[in-house]
Structure 1
Amino acid sequence: MAWFEKRGACQWRVVIARRGYPRQSKTFTTKAEAEAWAKMIESEMARGVWIDRSEAESTTLRELLDRYEREVVPGKRGAVQECSVLATWRDTPLAVRTVATIRGADVAALRDEWLKDYAPATVLRRLAVLSHVFNVARKEWGMESLANPVELVRKPSPNNARTRRIVTASPSTGRSRGRTQDELALVVEASESPMLPALVTLAVETAMRRGEIAALRWEHVDLERCVAHLPETKNGNSRDVPLSPAAVAALVALLPEPPAKRRKVPAVPSELRGRVFAMRPDGITQAFDRAQHRARAVYEAKCTRECLSIDPGFLNDLRFHDLRHEATSRLAAKFQLHELAKITGHRDTRMLLRYYHPDAADLAKRLR
Structure 2
Amino acid sequence: MASILEVKGAKGTRWRAMVRRKGYPPQSAYFDRKTDAQSWARSIEAKIDEGKHPIGSEARRHTVDELIDRYCLEVLPHKKSEKDQRQQLRVWKELVGGLKLSELSPNRILTARAEISSRPGRGVAKISNASVNRYFAALQHVLEIAVREYGWLEQNPMKRLKKLKEPQGRVRYLDADERKALLQACRESKNPYLEVILLIALTTGLRRSEILGMTWGRIELDTGLVVIEETKNGTRRSSHLIEPIIERLNVLKQASDGKSQYVFPGKNPLKPIDIKSAWHKAVRSAQLEDFRFHDLRHTAASYVAMDGGSVPEIAALLGHKSFQMAARYAHLSEGHTKSIIEKTMSKVVQDDGSD
TM-score of the superposed pair, with normalisation by structure 1: 0.68
**1:76, 1:323 → 2: CA distance?**
26
* Residues 287-326 of structure 1: pairs in structure 2 closer than 5 A: 287-296=278-287, 315-326=288-299
Aligned to 2:205: 207
User: Aligned with 1:241: secondary structure?
Assistant: strand
CA drift at 1:87? 1.6
Could you say which residue in structure 1 is the equivalent of 2:165? Answer: 157
SS at match of 2:130: helix
Q: Of the candidates 80, 85, 90, which is equivalent to residue 82 of structure 1?
A: 85
5+ residue gaps in structure 1?
A: 1-17, 20-38, 171-180, 259-268, 297-314
In 2, the alpha carbon distance for the partners of 1:141 and 1:282 equals: 40
Task: Pick one of 212, 218, 221 that aligns with 2:219.
Answer: 221
Partner residue of 2:253? 255
Work out which of the residue numbers 112, 117, 124 in structure 2 matches 1:115. 117
Residues 264 and 272 in structure 2, CA contact (< 8 A), matched pair in contact too:
no
Contact map agreement 1:100 1:147 (CA 8 A) in 2: no
> Residue 277 and residue 136 in structure 1: after superposition, are their counterparts in 2 closer, same or farther (change >3 A)?
same
Change (3 A) 1:278 1:82: farther
Distance 1:201 1:217, change over 3 A: same
Deviation at 1:126, TM superposition (A): 0.2
Q: How does 1:1-368 map to 2 (within 5 A)?
A: 43=40, 53-92=56-95, 94-116=96-118, 117-148=126-157, 150-159=158-167, 161-169=169-177, 181-189=179-187, 191-257=189-255, 274-278=261-265, 283-296=274-287, 315-332=288-305, 333=307, 336-355=310-329, 358=332
Once the two structures are TM-superposed, the CA of residue 361 in structure 1 deviates from its matched residue by 7.4
Secondary structure (helix, strand or coil) at the match of 2:239 reads strand
Bigger mean CA deviation after superposition, 99-108 or 286-295: 286-295
8 Å CA contact 1:166, 1:183 repeated in 2: no
In the superposition, relative to structure 1, how do residues 189 and 255 fare at CA in structure 2: closer, same or farther (>3 Å)? same
- 2: CA distance, partners of 1:340 / 1:361: 16
Q: Which AA in structure 2 matches 1:218?
A: W
* Alpha-carbon offset, residue 129 of structure 1: 0.6
Q: Residue type matched to 1:201 in 2?
A: L
Cα pair distance change 1:60/1:183, threshold 3 Å: farther
Aligned mates of 1:123, 1:190 — CA distance in 2: 39
Shift of 1:69: 0.6
How far, CA to CA, are the matches of 1:361 and 1:288 in structure 2? 34
User: What is the distance in 2 between the residues matched to 1:365 and 1:275?
Assistant: 45
Cα distance, 1:143 vs. partner? 2.2
Segments of structure 2 that go 5 or more residues without pairing to the other structure are: 1-14, 17-35, 119-125, 344-355
Distance 1:147 1:201 in 2: 46
Percent same amino acid at aligned positions? 28
- Paired residues of 1:61 and 1:98 also in contact (CA < 8 A): yes
SS in 1 for 2:159: helix
The residue identity in structure 1 corresponding to 2:152 is M
CA contact (8 A) 1:220 1:229 kept: yes
Report Cα offsets for 1:273-301 as digits up to 9, x if no partner: 612123579944454223212432xxxxx
1:95 deviation in Å? 0.9
Partners of 2:302 and 2:108 lie apart in 1 by 43
| Distance across 2 between alignment mates of 1:86 and 1:210 | 26
Cα distance in 2 for residues equivalent to 1:334 and 1:361: 8
Q: From the superposition, tell whether residues 250 and 79 of structure 1 become closer, same or farther in structure 2 (CA, over 3 Å).
A: farther
User: How many residue pairs end up in the alignment?
Assistant: 294
2:347 maps to none
Letter in 2 for 1:59: H
Shift of 1:238: 1.4
- Displacement of 1:245: 2.0
Give the conservation status (yes or no) of the 8 Å contact 1:328–1:344. yes
Q: Distance in 2 between matches of 1:282 and 1:220?
A: 17
Q: Structure 2: how far apart are the matches of 1:207 and 1:57?
A: 49
Normalised by the length of structure 2, the TM-score is: 0.70
Higher RCO (CA-CA < 8 Å; seq separation 6+):
1
CA RMSD of aligned residues (A): 3.8
Q: Is the 8 A contact 1:285 1:320 kept in 2?
A: no
